């Protein structure tokens, strides 16, 4: 009837379905591979009517109410609801059609255009779609009755469990079949009890339409040959486990490697919590390069074995490779493990054995580990210094390779040396700050370098890692002709009693004072007590000076010969100024040791060039900066020379 509301809704749905088919850019018969579209439309109309009669409740029927959305979005919603009656019928017809075709065949167009476009497909020359059939297996079949033993031939299909997913296998088969094309991506289209069907997007890298497209030129690069075999497609990345696992947020390979993993796994436009957490976790570390995170690396080194000789023909085996350290300027200490692939071992190769066709075996190549200048190499077992890499571009032997077999050793190759070594990084600052915990070293560094972000707190051991920065003297410049001057300063973690015996990792901190030009000792005028246990005694300011003197003396006596400045900090506290003045007068004489108990007296007392009361919290440093500069200029004077100062007349020429 003309006024029947049900017929009106059916006409609307039918028009909507035709509209969707028109947006898909295909004729109805191409969609269902030659089957009548009327049956499909009847099922769509029935599903829509069922949905309307149910009052809009969610069901397995296909929802065609959102006809105002785009065609690609609509197709995406259709494929998301695969259990609808219409789509199940359509997939069943397509599976029957796919089974009649070969395992790898070319498709005239993508079955899922919206999925193909999301994976990079473009309806232009140079793009090809191939459909691949992969056997599923593991599906049971009805058992034929009557057999009493064995397994019937029709009882199921053995499952082929590939090391990778079936989608990745489909990409591999398409790439092997079409070797001149590049696999871009793939997607699922259908499956039945025996097979799964995938469509693979391939690109012709030699086509001019691809080579001229700035968005697809990257795939023409030779490094993208057979990218499906290296897990670079979407299916391959899933099989590789990228974006998953407990070590996904680690910085293996550096921070930029981490950024790349987060970028390509999550996408730039998605606000993903793990990405933000990881970036915030390492933001401070990335920005602050002044903190020394690693100053010791353990490596197991082993020289190569010598090759065996040949006694019958007096053949000589080749020498094994040796392990060397190469001092390179402007290199970061943290980059050393990258050369070893984070394995912590460096083994040189073995020498070649002597054979009848080649009596003299080839020598193995030496293994070289690049280290920054100033690194020291120590044997972990014997604690013997093996090398001090102080000269740039020099090689230092740490593990000798074995000698090849000859008459002297009975034609038996000698084994190479093997050691467990430690590479120590020792800072070379102009000023080294040393003191007890909570003495105000970090506060003093903040007062000297106001722009530096320093962690300051009221509890001991706030500084756990050495940090180094520059002290600028721009404010002290009197004229524009004066050259800028700056000094490097290192803030070390606090020392405790017994630091020279490595209590509280004292050796790891005292070693950074070996190459410092000036030692600045920071002492709390009110004294100090380490509150790790009730047995720790209270130490006055004078006793603190004596203990620090003794720890430096026990570590290395030569360090006492360095210029030293004593800073009596926290004079802003009640009675701090009076205590600092009394201590200053006492330290001017050599009798200050006699006022100490015998167990605290150092054997070689330090001589301070200057004793300066200060309040680092209030930026009251007294004459600390000019005093340090004066001492440094006396240690390393700069002689200003003119271009023609050494001018000599010799045969009408200038000798500069």
Question: Is the per-residue pLDDT at 574 higher than 60?
Answer: yes
Please give the pLDDT value at position 291. Answer: 82
Question: Is the per-residue pLDDT at 438 higher than 80?
Answer: yes
Q: Higher confidence at residue 285 or residue 197?
A: 197
Q: What is the mean predicted confidence (pLDDT) over 245-255?
A: 57
Q: Higher confidence at residue 237 or residue 425?
A: 425
| Band of residue 300 on the pLDDT scale cut at 50, 70, 90 | very high
Return the exposure string of 603-622: e unless at least 16 CB atoms fall within 10 Å of the residue's CB, then b: eebbebebbbbbbbbeeebb
What tens digit of pLDDT does each residue of 480-522 get? 667 788 899 999 998 888 888 888 888 888 888 888 999 999 9
Nearest C-alpha neighbor of 379 from the set 417, 327, 328: 417
Beta strand 418-424 with 345-347 is unpaired
Question: Is the per-residue pLDDT at 341 higher than 90?
Answer: no
Strand segments, DSSP code E, in 209-314 are: 296-302
Contacts of 444 (CB under 8 A, 6+ apart): 433, 520, 522, 567, 569, 614, 616, 621
Largest CA distance in the chain: 124
CA atoms within 13 A of residue 78's CA, in its CB half-sphere: 29
Question: Is the per-residue pLDDT at 260 higher than 70?
Answer: no
Question: Is the per-residue pLDDT at 418 higher than 70?
Answer: yes
Question: Is the per-residue pLDDT at 396 higher than 70?
Answer: yes
Spatial distance between the Cα atoms of 155 and 412, rounded to a whole number of angstroms: 63
Q: Give the distance, in angstroms, between the CA of residue 285 and the centroid of all CA atoms in the same chain.
A: 12
Query: Of all residues in the chain, what percent carry a pLDDT higher than 90?
Result: 38
Q: Give the distance, in angstroms, between the CA of residue 359 and the centroid of all CA atoms in the same chain.
A: 47
Q: Higher confidence at residue 402 or residue 69?
A: 402
Return the exposure string of 244-274: e unless at least 16 CB atoms fall within 10 Å of the residue's CB, then b: eeeebbeeeeeeeebbebbeebbeeeeeeee
Question: Is the per-residue pLDDT at 33 higher than 50?
Answer: no
Question: Is the per-residue pLDDT at 236 higher than 50?
Answer: yes
- Which of 71-85, 420-434, 435-449 is predicted least confidently? 71-85
Please give the pLDDT value at position 653. Answer: 46
What tens digit of pLDDT does each residue of 591-643 get? 788 888 888 888 888 888 899 999 998 988 888 999 999 999 898 886 655 44
The one-character DSSP state at 277 is: H
Question: Is the per-residue pLDDT at 266 higher than 80?
Answer: no
Query: Is there a contact between 437 and 524 (Cβ–Cβ < 8 Å)?
Result: no
Most confident of 18-22, 29-33, 41-45: 41-45
Contacts of 250 (CB under 8 A, 6+ apart): 258
Question: Is the per-residue pLDDT at 351 higher than 50?
Answer: yes
| Band of residue 264 on the pLDDT scale cut at 50, 70, 90 | low
The token duo for 586 is 């006492």
Backbone φ and ψ for 243, nearest 5 degrees, come out as 90, 10
Spatial distance between the Cα atoms of 563 and 183, rounded to a whole number of angstroms: 69
Spatial distance between the Cα atoms of 240 and 255, rounded to a whole number of angstroms: 21
Return the exposure string of 439-463: e unless at least 16 CB atoms fall within 10 Å of the residue's CB, then b: bbbbbbbbbbbeebebeeeeebebb
| Band of residue 37 on the pLDDT scale cut at 50, 70, 90 | very low
Question: Is the per-residue pLDDT at 53 higher than 90?
Answer: no
Q: Higher confidence at residue 197 or residue 37?
A: 197
Q: What is the mean predicted confidence (pLDDT) over 421-433?
A: 91
Most confident of 125-139, 195-209, 217-231, 589-603: 195-209
Q: What is the mean predicted confidence (pLDDT) over 175-187?
A: 95
**DSSP secondary structure string for all residues of 586-654:** HHTSGGGGTTS-GGG--SS----SEEEE-BGGGTB-TTHHHHHHHHHHHHS------TTTT--EETTEE
Please give the pLDDT value at position 27. Answer: 37
Three-class SS of 548-560:
HHHHHHHHCHHHH
Query: Is there a contact between 438 and 460 (Cβ–Cβ < 8 Å)?
Result: yes
The token duo for 536 is 């720790």
Please give the pLDDT value at position 177. Answer: 94
Query: Is there a contact between 232 and 218 (Cβ–Cβ < 8 Å)?
Result: no
| Band of residue 322 on the pLDDT scale cut at 50, 70, 90 | very high
Q: What sign for the dihedral angle of Cα 3, 9, 10, 16?
A: positive
Across the chain, what does the average pLDDT equal? 80
Q: Which residues pair with 375 in a beta bridge?
A: 389
Dihedral Cα 481, 482, 488, 494, nearest 10 deg? -130
Question: Is the per-residue pLDDT at 562 higher than 50?
Answer: yes
Please give the pLDDT value at position 302. Answer: 96
Please give the pLDDT value at position 155. Answer: 59
Please give the pLDDT value at position 261. Answer: 55
Spatial distance between the Cα atoms of 218 and 214, rounded to a whole number of angstroms: 8
Please give the pLDDT value at position 496. Answer: 87
């Amino acid at each position: 009837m003309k006024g029947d509301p049900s017929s009106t809704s059916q006409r609307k749905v039918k028009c909507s379905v035709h509209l969707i088919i028109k947006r898909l850019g295909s004729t109805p018969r191409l969609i269902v591979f030659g089957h009548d579209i009327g049956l499909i439309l009847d099922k769509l109309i029935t599903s829509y009517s069922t949905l309307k009669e149910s009052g809009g409740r969610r069901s397995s029927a296909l929802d065609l109410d959102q006809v105002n959305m785009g065609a690609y979005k609509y197709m995406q919603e259709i494929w998301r609801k695969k259990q609808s009656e219409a789509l199940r019928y359509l997939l069943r017809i397509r599976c029957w059609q796919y089974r009649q075709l070969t395992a790898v065949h070319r498709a005239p167009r993508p079955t899922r255009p919206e999925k193909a476009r999301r994976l990079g497909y473009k309806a232009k020359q140079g793009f090809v779609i191939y459909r691949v059939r992969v056997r599923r297996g593991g599906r049971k079949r009805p058992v034929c009755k009557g057999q009493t033993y064995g397994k019937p031939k029709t009882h199921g299909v053995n499952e082929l469990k590939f090391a990778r997913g079936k989608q990745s296998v489909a990409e591999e088969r398409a790439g092997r079949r079409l070797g001149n094309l590049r696999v871009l991506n793939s997607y699922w289209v259908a499956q039945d009890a025996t097979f799964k069907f995938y469509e693979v997007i391939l690109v012709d890298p030699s086509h001019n339409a691809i080579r001229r497209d700035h968005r697809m030129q990257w795939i023409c690069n030779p490094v993208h040959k057979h990218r499906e075999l290296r897990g670079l497609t979407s299916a391959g990345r899933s099989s590789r486990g990228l974006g998953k696992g407990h070590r996904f947020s680690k910085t293996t390979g550096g921070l930029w490697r981490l950024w790349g993993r987060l970028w390509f796994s999550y996408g730039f436009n998605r606000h993903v919590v793990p990405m933000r957490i990881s970036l915030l976790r390492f933001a401070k570390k990335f920005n602050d390069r002044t903190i020394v995170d690693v100053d010791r690396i353990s490596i197991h080194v082993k020289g190569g074995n010598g090759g065996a000789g040949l006694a019958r023909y007096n053949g000589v085996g080749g020498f094994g490779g040796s392990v060397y350290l190469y001092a390179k300027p402007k290199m970061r200490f943290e980059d050393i493990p990258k050369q070893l692939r984070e394995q912590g071992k460096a083994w040189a190769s073995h020498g070649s054995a002597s054979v009848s066709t080649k009596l003299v075996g080839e020598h193995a190549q030496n293994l070289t580990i690049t280290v920054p200048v100033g690194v020291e190499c120590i044997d972990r077992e014997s604690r013997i210094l093996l090398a001090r890499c102080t000269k740039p571009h020099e090689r230092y032997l740490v593990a000798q390779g074995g000698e090849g077999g000859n008459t002297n050793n009975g034609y038996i190759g000698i084994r190479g040396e093997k050691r467990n070594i430690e590479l120590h990084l020792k800072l070379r600052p102009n000023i080294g700050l040393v003191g007890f915990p909570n003495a105000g070293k970090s506060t003093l560094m903040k007062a000297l370098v106001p722009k530096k972000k320093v962690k300051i707190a009221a509890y001991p051991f706030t500084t756990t890692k050495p940090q180094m920065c520059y002290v600028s003297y721009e404010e002290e410049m009197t004229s524009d002709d004066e050259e800028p001057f700056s000094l490097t300063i290192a803030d070390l973690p606090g020392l405790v009693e017994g630091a020279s015996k490595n209590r509280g990792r004292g050796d790891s901190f005292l070693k950074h004072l070996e190459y410092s030009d000036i030692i600045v000792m920071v002492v709390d005028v009110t004294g100090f007590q380490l509150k790790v246990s009730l047995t720790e005694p209270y130490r006055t300011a004078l006793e603190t000076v004596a203990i620090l003197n003794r720890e430096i003396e026990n570590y290395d006596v030569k360090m006492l010969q360095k210029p030293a400045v004593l800073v009596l900090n926290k004079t802003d506290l009640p009675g701090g100024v009076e205590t600092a003045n009394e201590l200053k007068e006492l330290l001017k004489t050599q009798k200050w040791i006699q006022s100490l108990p015998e167990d605290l007296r150092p054997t070689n007392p330090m001589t301070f060039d200057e004793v300066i009361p200060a309040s680092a919290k209030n930026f009251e440093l007294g004459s600390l900066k000019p005093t340090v500069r004066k001492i440094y200029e006396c240690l390393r004077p700069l002689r200003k020379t003119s271009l023609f100062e050494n001018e000599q007349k010799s045969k009408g020429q200038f000798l500069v």
